[in-house]
Amino acid sequence: MILGRSEPAGRVVVPDHKQVRVGTLRKIISQAGLTVEDFLKALAGD
């Protein structure tokens, strides 16, 4: 899947699998301009 946003412009390719390898997930998080901590906060809904 290709996920994108317009402001600021960016896109990330995310595999459509039930499980994603740790290294792949870290790369996706990095490409999205997030830290792992920011990602975990967003995941938790904070």
Report the C-alpha gap between 26 and 35 in whole angstroms: 9
pTM of the complete model beyond 0.85: no
Spatial contact of 3 and 11, defined as CB atoms under 8 Å apart: yes
**Angle at the Cα of 40 (from 14 to 23), degrees rounded to 5?**
45
What does the alpha-carbon distance between residue 41 and residue 10 come to, in Å, rounded to a whole number? Answer: 20
| Count of domains observed in the chain | 1
List the domain range (segments joined by +) for residue 16: 2-44
Tens-digit pLDDT profile for residues 3-44: 888 888 888 889 999 999 999 999 999 988 899 999 999 999
- DSSP code string of 7-28: TTTEEEE---SS---HHHHHHH
